Amino acid sequence: MASKVVDLRSDTVTKPSEAMRAAMAAADVDDDVLGADPTAHRFEAEMAAVMGKEAALFVPSGTMGNLISVLVHCDVRGSEAILGDNSHIHVYENGGISTIGGVHPRTVKNNPDGTMDIDKIVAAIRHPDLHYPTTRLICLENTHGNTGGKCLSVEYTDKVGEIAKSHGLKLHIDGARIFNASVALGVPVDRLVKAADSVSVCLSKGLGAPVGSVIVGSKAFIDKARILRKTLGGGMRQVGVLCAAAHVAVRDTVGKLADDHRKAKALAEGLKKIEQITVDSASVETNMVFFEVMDPRISPDKLCQVLEQDNVLALPANSKSIRFVIHYQISDADVGYALACVEVCESLDPFPSFTVIAFDFSCDSTISCFQKAIKELLEGSTELGHSINGATKSSYGH
């Protein structure tokens, strides 16, 4: 049985590199709540400069990054924020902007490319009325997760920024994977987010830091954000230990994102060759691949279970499709292995004649794990319900 795990569930599973670990151990730190941690200061200044904004603030998670941003822009009671009906903030952040922040969401349909129609955004903006909350904010998500890691172009972002400005609204970008978008589009990240009043950027996803995100914006915005961060409980003390790792992540891993995109494309092309799989490989823009299984007897859940037996971890994206996410700790060989496992799963049916499949991998254990998977499916094994590390069967949009 192959002992290596190929974890394609998300890019959140990246583990800190040796360089990050060394940086954490050596970090020059002090009490950041008192504003004194030099490593945090340095990192925040660096991120502000990279993103072309006045200031930055390190936060424990992307959820907090978005929550703070929405709450700062919508600090007056009775506010409404326009965002995509398939956006991470709306679907996967516990409704916190409302339950914690008292902000009302107004959703607009997300197109398969991650955008919302401009005219629908405009139509969603409230005019003053006895019955209406006050629209204060528009949120975009770049790359857009649920549509497959799609990039919003700089032109589209600028256009939404104009709409926001002309209506006196703010624009926030959930840029958890903004560097993926920047690399895929070939647009410098500061140019890409120029129209935004604030951006939330994850360090702990594809960039590989153990913890954290950064919010960037104007100095006035960040000053307010800092207080909200404290209020939410995100004020950490010698947080330079985490910022040191985050700095290494930005320094070392942004340059590897293009490779993740290449591997995702290779994975998509490989999946396309498997008969029972449909994948729109042209729509693979960054590090995510969504694919569907045509055989109604094989549900996404079932396929993920069988893949798990071969130490390939994946999550169903919905009732019809599965999502694979690539990050720099997935090698080309891992991609090949994953493809092979999918192929094996798809080549079986409930009552097969025994098929021997040969692969040009040198790893004997690879063959034996396939044989085991074949055996189990042949026997109609029902012991597939276990999961590794508490992995859930649903995607939580990470």
Partner 1 sequence: MATKVVVDLRSDTVTKPSEAMRASMAAADVDDDVRGADPTARRFQEEMAALMGKEAALFVPSGTMGNLVSVLAHCDVRGSEVILGDDSHIHLYENGGISTLGGVHPKTVRNNSDGTMDIDSIVAAIRPPGGGLYYPTTRLICLENTHGNSGGKCLSAEYTEKVGEIAKSHGLKLHIDGARIFNASVALGVPVDRLVRAADSVSVCISKGLGAPVGSVIVGSKAFIDKAKILRKTLGGGMRQVGVLCAAAHVAVRDNVGKLADDHRKAKALADGLNKIEQFRVDSASVQTNMVFLDIVDSRISSNKLCQVLGTHNVLASPRSPKRLVLHYQISDDDVQYALTCFKKAAEQLLMGSTELEHLAEQLLMGTTKNSYGQ
Among 89, 181, 189, 239, which residue interacts with partner 1 (rule: CB under 8 A)? Answer: 239
Per-residue binding string, partner 1, 91-120, x by CB under 8 A, is --xxxx--xxx-------------------
Among 2, 47, 53, 65, which residue interacts with partner 1 (rule: CB under 8 A)? Answer: 65
Contacts of 14 by beta carbon, 8 Å cutoff, 6+ apart: 204, 205, 206, 207, 208, 327, 328, 329
- Token pair 């649920």: residue: 146
Among 40, 60, 207, 293, which residue interacts with partner 1 (rule: CB under 8 A)? Answer: 60
As measured in angstroms, the least distance from the Cβ of 211 to partner 1 is 4
Task: Kindly tell me which of 91 and 378 has the beta carbon lying closer to partner 1.
Answer: 91
Among 132, 220, 231, 294, which residue interacts with partner 1 (rule: CB under 8 A)? Answer: 231
Alpha-carbon distance 147 to 288, whole Å?
9
Among 48, 55, 59, 201, which residue interacts with partner 1 (rule: CB under 8 A)? Answer: 59
Contact flag: residue 211 with partner 1 (CB under 8 A): yes
CA distances from 218 to 47, 184, 196, 199, 272 (A): 13, 26, 10, 10, 45
Contact flag: residue 26 with partner 1 (CB under 8 A): yes
CA distances from 106 to 82, 109, 118, 131, 199 (A): 5, 10, 14, 14, 20
Task: Kindly tell me which of 64 and 151 has the beta carbon lying closer to partner 1.
Answer: 64
Contact flag: residue 392 with partner 1 (CB under 8 A): yes
Task: Kindly tell me which of 14 and 146 has the beta carbon lying closer to partner 1.
Answer: 14
Contact flag: residue 217 with partner 1 (CB under 8 A): no
Write out the binding residues for partner 1, residues 3-22 only, by CB under 8 A.
Answer: 9-10, 12-13, 15-16, 21-22
Supply 181's token pair: 């978008």
Contact flag: residue 151 with partner 1 (CB under 8 A): no
Contact flag: residue 335 with partner 1 (CB under 8 A): no
Task: Kindly tell me which of 20 and 163 has the beta carbon lying closer to partner 1.
Answer: 20
**Across-strand partners of 144?**
150
Contact flag: residue 394 with partner 1 (CB under 8 A): no
Contacts of 277 by beta carbon, 8 Å cutoff, 6+ apart: 271, 291, 292, 293, 294, 342, 346
Alpha-carbon distance 86 to 353, whole Å?
43
Write out the binding residues for partner 1, residues 166-205 only, by CB under 8 A.
Answer: 204
Alpha-carbon distance 152 to 183, whole Å?
12
Indicate the DSSP class of residue 46.
H
R_g of the chain computed on alpha carbons: 22
**Across-strand partners of 277?**
293
Contact flag: residue 362 with partner 1 (CB under 8 A): no
Alpha-carbon distance 19 to 310, whole Å?
31
Contact flag: residue 232 with partner 1 (CB under 8 A): yes
Task: Classify 130 as helix, strand or coil.
Answer: coil
CA distances from 128 to 136, 170, 271 (A): 12, 17, 51
Supply 251's token pair: 């320094």
Q: Which stretch binds partner 1 (CB under 8 A): 23-31, 46-54, 107-115, 273-281?
A: 23-31
Contact flag: residue 314 with partner 1 (CB under 8 A): no
Alpha-carbon distance 302 to 297, whole Å?
9
As measured in angstroms, the least distance from the Cβ of 246 to partner 1 is 12
Positions touching partner 1 (CB under 8 A) are: 9-10, 12-13, 15-16, 21-22, 24-26, 29-31, 33-36, 59-61, 63-65, 67-68, 93-96, 99-101, 204, 210-212, 227, 230-242, 245, 389-392, 396, 398
